[in-house]
Amino acid sequence: MSALTDRLDAIRAEGRAALIGYLPVGFPDVDTSIRAMVAMVEAGVDIVEVGPPYSDPVLDGPVIQKAVADALEGGVRLSDTFAAVKAIADAGAGAVVMSYFNPMLQHGLADFARDVKEAGGSGVITPDLTPDAGEAWVEAARAADLDTIFLVAPSTTPERMHLTVGASRGFVYATPLMGVTGERASVGDAAERVVREAREAGADHVCVGVGVSTREQAAELAGYVDGVIVGTALVRCLADAEDAESGLAALRSLAADLAAGVREGRA
């Protein structure tokens, strides 16, 4: 059992899926990014993914890539990630860090795990790390009682699906579309297939990130997943805004709409 498992179990008992929102730290600036994460919680987001900016975000689409580049130019530091985690935990939501592996390695795996845990974080998503290459990270995370969240995709073989599910704790992150992150016009059938395959491999909690940007898409996914993950659409609220306050208002509105969607999915 873990803090994420307990939270997802409680949300499941409410008869709905969780809403999980991602934002990068430091965009448009550190203070506003942390305010935005707290605003998402107040609008109905259950778990927040905190993204430490990285100089080579190869798995992210253009909206997030630009936001991360702006954050780095603004002088964001890894320590700001831990401050964001604390703010989210203090606001009453689950906090997980979604990080490329190199910043974790440079910080020191044991130190990174300790700092996330001490800030109130529940786990870490590692999009560019596979379980067989991440044994040292899994060991460090277990020592700190942090959940390790790995990704599965349509290309994941049955053997690797079992390996990934076995190494994951908290939830399995399913990405049903190949390619970089970004908003999509429709969810598609691949999401349901990847979720089914992960459950068949033993996953109890499967959350899906598939470019969701509307209430209707959130409701569709919520019918069969444990958590609906939204990133680009939320970042765009801040990116397209004329100023910080209007960006936060747009973010609150979208988060509230998506929160309504995940509650409608199993109605």
Question: Quick check: 219 and 187 in contact, CB under 8 A?
Answer: no
Catalytic residue among 46, 49, 147, 192: 49
Predicted TM-score of the model (pTM): 0.94
**Annotated catalytic, 49?**
yes
Q: Please, which residues bridge with residue 47 across strands?
A: 20, 94
Q: What is the reported pLDDT for 186?
A: 52
Question: Quick check: 64 and 181 in contact, CB under 8 A?
Answer: yes
Query: DSSP readout, the chain?
Result: --HHHHHHHHHHHTTS-EEEEEEETTSS-HHHHHHHHHHHHHHT-SEEEEE---S--TTS-HHHHHHHHHHHHTT--HHHHHHHHHHHHHTTSEEEEE--HHHHHHH-HHHHHHHHHHTT--EEE-TT--GGG-HHHHHHHHHTT-EEE-EE-TT--HHHHHHHHHH--S-EEE--S-SS----S---SHHHHHHHHHHHTT-S-EEEES---SHHHHHHHHTT-SEEEE-HHHHHHHHT-SSHHHHHHHHHHHHHHHHHHHHHTT-
Q: What is the reported pLDDT for 251?
A: 98
Catalytic residue among 60, 192, 197, 220: 60
Q: What is the reported pLDDT for 267?
A: 56
pLDDT tens-digit profile, the chain (267 residues) = 789 999 999 999 999 999 999 999 999 999 999 999 999 999 999 999 999 988 876 677 889 999 999 999 999 999 999 999 999 999 999 999 999 999 999 999 999 999 999 999 999 999 999 999 999 999 999 999 999 999 999 999 999 999 999 999 999 999 986 444 444 445 567 899 999 999 999 999 999 997 899 999 999 999 999 999 999 999 999 999 999 999 999 999 999 999 999 999 775
Any idea which architecture 3-146+211-264 has in CATH? Alpha-Beta Barrel (3.20)
Q: What is the reported pLDDT for 185?
A: 47
